[in-house]
Amino acid sequence: MKDNYLAELNEPQRAAVTHINGPLMIVAGAGSGKTKVLTTRIAHLLRNGVDAFNILSLTFTNKAAKEMKERVERILGSSEARNLYIGTFHSVFARLLRAEATKLGYPSDFTIYDSDDAKSVIKTILNDLNLDDKHYKPNLVYGRISAAKNSLMSPEEYQHDHAVQQEDMRANRPMIGQIYDAYAKRCFKNGAMDFDDLLYKMYLLLKHFPDVLHKYQHKFKYIMIDEYQDTNPAQYEIIKLLGAAHENICVVGDDAQSIYSFRGATIQNILQFEKDYEDTKVVKLEQNYRSTKSILNVANEVIGNNKGQIPKNLWTDNTEGEKIKLVRTMTDNEEGKFVADTIAEQKLRNHYANRDFCILYRTNAQSRSFEESLRRMNIPYRIFGGISFYQRKEIKDFLSYLRVISNTRDEENIKRIINYPVRGIGKTTIEKTMVFANEHNMTFWDVLVRAREFGFKGGTLEAIDGFVTMIQSFQAMAQQNHNAYDVAIAVGKSTGIVKELFNDKTTEGLARYENIQELLNSIKEFTETPTEDGELLEKSLGTYLQQISLLTDADNGNDENSDQVKLMTIHAAKGLEFPVVFNVGLEESLFPSSMSINTREELEEERRLFYVAVTRAKSRLFITYANSRYRFGNLVQNEPSRFLDEMPEKYLDRSYAGGGVRNAFGGSGNSGWGNSNNMFDRKKTPATTPQSTTSQRPAPKPAVVATNHVPSPNFTPDDPATMEPGMEVEHQKFGFGTITAMEGAMHNRIATVVFPKAGGEKKIMLNYAKLMIVKK
């Protein structure tokens, strides 16, 4: 380990690093070297005799956890770091919960539901309770349940809490308490926890099992929390419990960057820390190493409009830098053009690479105009956020199999796959099974296993038995020491999913096939990566599932070295920095969002978000806003954002003319209409080479499927009864094909036909679609 590690730190940084025992709060301004302090402190602890096994370090993202681990390892120059417990709140708690699951009545292979899973459970419950999902919007209900868990409120407490009930009554949604109750029971029955449960159940575990609490209090003698300003009450209480014995709690955060209150975070946690823990040592990191003076000054001025902050004075030794360029365009499309032009120009003038630029917006929906203009200029880019890999339908379907194999209690996932691929288990059968399961207080799966006893017959019984046998054979595989990859391959083969997707030659089908391959590859990679802590069965299916349930695509193919302009929401940009930043869409109702201007608290959070956006920039910052933009299909006019008025004029340059010659005068007041001559450039030029997009994005727009078959002039349908496999037939739309199979009774014949020119295998119901026999 390096000896001079303390010498590389400034005064307050060193103070933070060398404080070993007792509560410590590090207030770390943007760009003040927070991660460096955290990692160095861990190294310092180890050097001073603390055992790595006794250190717990919690972050919010996998990425942050990974980076921390790597940096500690680098400082130490040894593998001692792998004994540290570094991870996200969710992944660390999931692991502990897995170890103690039986105490709470959960299987140790419990499934983790993401928010889509959770919402679909809520939908079925709304159905059961005969509630209207227009009024009880699943999203909203989920939000209420999530908020309840994040503030450690059980369904019973929720239903008996006066204030909460009042609130629901006023919103005319009195049933949310019951829905919460049913939801919690359903999840438990399914052996599943949602993201919030990972915190809530962890709290319950520590609260109700003193021996468990004692065990972990003694294991985790030193606790570090990153991004403390974004913790919620559940996380707060857990930390309090875990840290109670030693109070060696070190929190790091910046109240000015608290931007997740809508996810339950309370800024109070950091504001109150000193009061919560006596003798707290407070260290403020106020020197910024990231940005120019201009950028930092603007940020400081703007955030100064917020009340109730921890007083601090962020400063920098960096150069003055250029003024902030404030640019107004007439439309959102022009805004896109301006940014793309400017990127091209800056690359030439200041020798930037694509990866030096980042475009930051308030909402994902704003990305479109930038995508278009970047594509038109052939500038490679990558969009972060949006639909994640693991949310794609084909991926979820496939993972459902794996989840069911590892936890058959999970009714939701069974229902997802029981008839995918189609195997003749329809709605009626599923409903019957559900009724039986309820009546006999059994799981859905157990009813399937004993289908014969429940009176299922004939083809249905056969289909169910086939499904059960198949799943059981996978389970047997998983238990016989086959690793996750072997099982996954078997699933792909036996279910026919891989083959089915392979045969689908449409563009989307191809993308789906590739996604599945990518998934299989990632499973393979998982099984082949050496285990970190040498735990047994580490490559099992269960471990794999546990891990990926907590993964987001930000953690995935984040190739730092790929040279692409980055596009993301401001939320997604927290913790990152870029030489040149474009902060776009600075308009009232967009930013600040019209949803968040009703209370002072909401508005202040928007302002913090703006602060985060500004402080991402190292040397150049462009802020743009459009006079009018399309929103939900119609052109709307927006006033310039109020935040623009909060930036002192002396740091601004309103005359930047961009890469081309375009209107760039400004004035946050009403400086009249522009002299733009491209006001009408809405018309879409066809996108040129989409070479720059990435696999992160959903599949490219489907090309027109080649189904434009012109039927033969003598086309006359033939009698379905005479058709047999092997015959060549013609379909009015799909063209010529070969029958590979026939099924169904006389009055409802179904032919499986391979159409080489129209996307491969299709099932044709002969009652409706007509076929003509070409060759017997």
Partner DNA sequence: AATACTCCAATTTTT
Partner DNA sequence: TTGGAGTATT
d(Cα 117, Cα 356) in Å, to the nearest integer? 37
| Binding of residue 680 to DNA (CB under 7 A) | no
Q: Are 161 and 153 in contact (CB under 8 A)?
A: yes
Contacts of 665 (CB under 8 A, 6+ apart): 328, 654, 655, 671, 674
| Closest distance of CB 371 from DNA, Å | 11
Beta bridge partner(s), residue 630: 635
Q: Would you say 39 is a known binding-site residue?
A: no
- Whose Cβ is closer to DNA: residue 287's or residue 569's? 569
Identify the active-site residue in 109, 117, 197, 226: 226
Q: Are 398 and 492 in contact (CB under 8 A)?
A: yes
| Binding of residue 227 to DNA (CB under 7 A) | yes
| Binding of residue 311 to DNA (CB under 7 A) | no
Q: Are 460 and 425 in contact (CB under 8 A)?
A: yes
Q: Are 733 and 712 in contact (CB under 8 A)?
A: no
C-alpha distances (whole Å) from 177 to each of 154, 163, 181 are: 10, 12, 6
Here the tokens at position 101 are 């699951």
- Tracing tokens 């956890």 back to the chain, one arrives at 65
- Whose Cβ is closer to DNA: residue 411's or residue 504's? 504
Please, is 43 exposed, middle or buried when counting C-beta atoms within 10 Å of its C-beta (0-12, 13-18, 19+)? Answer: buried
- Whose Cβ is closer to DNA: residue 263's or residue 450's? 263
Here the tokens at position 773 are 């026999």
Mask 91-120, x = binds DNA (CB under 7 A)?
Answer: x-----------------------x-----
Q: Would you say 34 is a known binding-site residue?
A: yes
Among 48, 319, 363, 655, binds DNA (CB under 7 A): 363
Contacts of 315 (CB under 8 A, 6+ apart): 286, 287, 288, 296
Query: 227 catalytic, yes or no?
Result: yes
Among 550, 621, 729, 751, binds DNA (CB under 7 A): 550
User: Around Cβ 216, how many Cβ atoms within 10 Å?
Assistant: 18
- Whose Cβ is closer to DNA: residue 88's or residue 342's? 88
| Binding of residue 332 to DNA (CB under 7 A) | no
| Binding of residue 426 to DNA (CB under 7 A) | yes
- Whose Cβ is closer to DNA: residue 429's or residue 564's? 429
Among 104, 271, 461, 750, binds DNA (CB under 7 A): 750
Mask 254-283, x = binds DNA (CB under 7 A)?
Answer: ------x-xx-x------------------
| Binding of residue 633 to DNA (CB under 7 A) | yes
Q: Are 429 and 461 in contact (CB under 8 A)?
A: no
Beta bridge partner(s), residue 382: 566
The one-character DSSP state at 149 is H
Q: Would you say 35 is a known binding-site residue?
A: yes
Select the span of 83-91, 201-209, 268-276, 521-529 touching DNA (CB under 7 A): 83-91
- Whose Cβ is closer to DNA: residue 33's or residue 592's? 592
Query: 691 catalytic, yes or no?
Result: no
Give, to the nearest 10 degrees, the angle between helix 210-219 and helix 233-243: 80
d(Cα 144, Cα 177) in Å, to the nearest integer? 9
Mask 6-35, x = binds DNA (CB under 7 A)?
Answer: ------------------------------
Query: 616 catalytic, yes or no?
Result: yes
Q: Would you say 69 is a known binding-site residue?
A: no
C-alpha distances (whole Å) from 618 to each of 294, 348, 352 are: 10, 19, 13
Give the HSE-up count for residue 330: Cα atoms under 13 Å, Cβ half-sphere.
13
Identify the active-site residue in 13, 14, 34, 411: 34
What number of chain residues touch DNA (CB under 7 A)?
A: 55
- Whose Cβ is closer to DNA: residue 4's or residue 598's? 598
**Could you tell me how far CA 543 lies from the centroid of its own chain?**
20
Residues known to be catalytic? 34-35, 226-227, 257, 616
| Binding-site residue ranges for ATP | 28-35
Chain positions contacting DNA, by CB under 7 A:
60-63, 88, 90-91, 115, 123, 133-134, 137, 139, 195, 227, 230, 260, 262-263, 265, 362-365, 385, 387-388, 422, 424, 426, 550-552, 554-555, 568-569, 571-572, 574, 593, 595-596, 602, 630, 632-633, 698, 750, 759, 762-763, 765, 768-769
Residues annotated within the binding site are 28-35
